[in-house]
Amino acid sequence: MGSIVLFGPPGAGKGTQAQRIMEHCGLPQVSTGDMLRAAIQAGSPVGMDAKAYMDRGALVPDEVILALIEERLKDDDAANGVMFDGFPRTIPQAEALSHLAEITHVLAIEVPDDRIVERICGRVTCGSCGTVFHDTFNPVPSDGCVCGSFVEKRRADDNESTVLSRLSAYHEQTSPLAAWYDERGLFHRVDGDRDIGEITADLLALLN
């Protein structure tokens, strides 16, 4: 089938849909962040190279990320393709990736910014067991968390100004990239402001 690129702003439900696509297609999810952490932990040459940049607070260059991807694509589970999550972010990255993997579908889960802000800023986690609630969509039960020991925990960056800043950066990065993939007939938009099952059905229909 080839490889898939999954797009979506923070809070669009990419993680949930990625899991469902993986279960259906059998393609492993490839996240550059996860790969960096694994390579550093394994002490591989590319991992140590990446760590040197991170330790001095510098961005890991594209060539290092692409070397990690090239390594990952040699694994047995990647023989039929992978699902890229959060990569590429720029046109030069997409051009370089096209030499390493055959991209057959670029799927964008689109959710209006105001809905993203509502989703993220309403998140609250039980500090005891990690269960995630939401002020609007999944409130904490009146009798507390299922673990019996609810301790409210909210991420410091789950506030409107931070979320809007992250969304602005996302749109700036992905707009040119969306156009680049669209010119190649690979880009597909899916309305992500609906029931989870409906979104999954649309994504799988595109892949089939």
pLDDT of 132 reads: 86
Of 20, 51, 115, 123, the catalytic one is 123
Of all residues in the chain, what percent carry a pLDDT higher than 70?
A: 100
Identify whether 56 is a catalytic site residue.
no
Instruction: Indicate if the pLDDT at residue 142 is higher than 90.
Output: no
Of 51, 115, 166, 189, the catalytic one is 166
| CA torsion through residues 162, 110, 199, 36, sign | negative
Instruction: Indicate if the pLDDT at residue 46 is higher than 70.
Output: yes
Per the CB < 8 A criterion, the answer to whether 133 and 124 are in contact is yes
pLDDT for 160-206, tens place per residue? 999 999 899 889 888 899 999 999 999 999 999 999 999 999 999 99
Where does the pLDDT of residue 33 fall: very low under 50, low under 70, confident under 90, or very high at 90 and above? confident
- Look at residues 43, 52, 90 and name the one whose alpha carbon lies nearest to residue 66: 90
Residues 46-60 have a mean pLDDT of: 88
Instruction: Indicate if the pLDDT at residue 136 is higher than 70.
Output: yes
Per the CB < 8 A criterion, the answer to whether 173 and 90 are in contact is yes
Q: What is the CATH number of domain 3-112+167-207?
A: 3.40.50.300
pLDDT averaged over the chain? 90
Identify whether 14 is a catalytic site residue.
yes
H or E stretch including 106? strand 103-110
Beta bridge partners of 203: none
3-class DSSP assignment, residue 110: strand
Residues 96-116 have a mean pLDDT of: 95
- State the alpha helices, DSSP H only, in the chain: 14-25, 32-42, 45-55, 62-72, 91-97, 113-121, 160-183, 196-207
Task: Report strand pairing: 83-85 vs 29-31.
Answer: parallel
The tokens describing 21, both together, are 């696509």
Give the DSSP letter of residue 138. Answer: B
Exposure string for 53-88, b = 16+ CB within 10 A, e = fewer: eeeeeeebebebbbbbbeebeeeeebeebbbbbbbb
Of 51, 89, 115, 189, the catalytic one is 89
Q: For residues 174 and 130, what is the distance between their CA atoms, to the nearest angstrom?
A: 31
Identify whether 20 is a catalytic site residue.
no
Of 20, 51, 115, 154, the catalytic one is 154
pLDDT of 1 reads: 66
pLDDT for 59-95, tens place per residue? 889 999 999 999 899 999 999 999 998 899 899 999 9
pLDDT of 110 reads: 94
